[in-house]
Amino acid sequence: MLHDVRAFPQAPLQPLQLSWLSRAGIDVAVLRLDLIDPLISGNKAFKLLEHLNLAYANAAPGIISLGGAWSNHLHALAAAGKRFGFATAGLLRGQPQDTPTVRDLQAFGMHLHWLGYAGYRARHRADFWAPWQARYPHWQCVPEGGGGVLGAQGCAQIVAQARAQRSALGWDDYHGWWLAAGSGTTLAGLVLAEQGAHPVYGALAVPADHGVAPTVEALVGPAGAAYRLYDACRGGFAKVDESLLRFIAECEAESALPLEPVYTGKALLALRDQVEAGAFAAGTRLIFLHTGGLQGRRGFA
């Protein structure tokens, strides 16, 4: 039986001091979702929230979901299962791998099933879940990354967290959000919560043909005008290059903000590129959403 896990702690909103921001006269504050919990943190926690609440309402004995061998989503789900006392199963992409993330999933008690690559590609088929529902009766099936409408609804809470703290920074208002986008679910949640009040800028951690724009459009409907996507993937998902790593090291040294190369590092680098290209006027105030994922840094040690 699941426990009710409705409330998450407040993520701190912290000013970000970086020379390229001050040169351009841009104020950025970081909403540190990475700090809300040592394990169930980042945007993953918010994307899981409504899935967990539904599983709780349905008295589901467990939750089953999908991801890769470095999945931040499976990591947060498995940790939540262990913390709140519900069973979890993870369907993994590819052949069995021994990564620190996979070892954590095992330690948290998640049942693991490796689907191969072709088996994983079948995840969007209508009949994909049937054998898993037969194997795990009454368990809740959560889409890859905790996405879908429920995932976006949980992320809407993020906006309230920022609004509650902006005056403590001396900000009467802010002019937009900047965040990494993988499936676009988190971005869609912010767009829905903002209802056009502030634009949401998404830095794509995946190539442009990965379907983020249609996913966001399907989730936000007519609120869609209030967001924009920027290419930030640097040649492919999880592709890392020397200048990205140097940028991350420089930003961490200057600001002490921990970043990882797959999402948050690429998102901040794409922001620097836009700031230096003059995309934002001096005096602009942006909230950079730290979406967490720091457990994945172990893959780049």
Ligand X SMILES: Cc1ncc(COP(=O)(O)O)c(C=O)c1O
User: Smaller CB distance to ligand X: residue 115 or 238?
Assistant: 238
User: Smaller CB distance to ligand X: residue 43 or 165?
Assistant: 43
Should residue 176 be labelled a site residue for ligand X when binding is judged by CB under 6 A? no
Should residue 88 be labelled a site residue for ligand X when binding is judged by CB under 6 A? no
Tokens of 146: 């905790």
Q: Which of 14, 101, 165, 186 is the binder for ligand X (CB under 6 A)?
A: 186
Contacting ligand X within 11-40 (CB under 6 A): none
Residues in CB range of 141: below 8 A, 6 or more apart: 63, 64, 65, 129, 132, 133
Do 63 and 77 touch, CB atoms closer than 8 A? yes
User: Smaller CB distance to ligand X: residue 24 or 158?
Assistant: 158
Do 34 and 42 touch, CB atoms closer than 8 A? yes
Cβ at position 22, least distance to ligand X in Å? 26
Cβ at position 135, least distance to ligand X in Å? 26
Rounded Cα–Cα distance for residues 136 and 115 (Å): 16
User: Smaller CB distance to ligand X: residue 24 or 88?
Assistant: 88
Tokens of 207: 């190539």
Applying CB under 6 A, which part among 7-15, 128-136, 185-193, 271-279 lies near ligand X? 185-193
Strand pairing of 176-181 and 13-15? unpaired
Should residue 72 be labelled a site residue for ligand X when binding is judged by CB under 6 A? yes
Rounded Cα–Cα distance for residues 39 and 220 (Å): 29
Phi, psi of 196 (to 5 degrees): 85, -5
Phi, psi of 90 (to 5 degrees): -120, 130
Should residue 42 be labelled a site residue for ligand X when binding is judged by CB under 6 A? yes
3-class secondary structure, 245? helix
Should residue 65 be labelled a site residue for ligand X when binding is judged by CB under 6 A? no
Applying CB under 6 A, which part among 86-94, 157-165, 175-183, 222-230 lies near ligand X? 175-183
Residue numbers at the binding site for ligand X (CB under 6 A): 42-44, 72, 145, 180-187, 263, 291-293
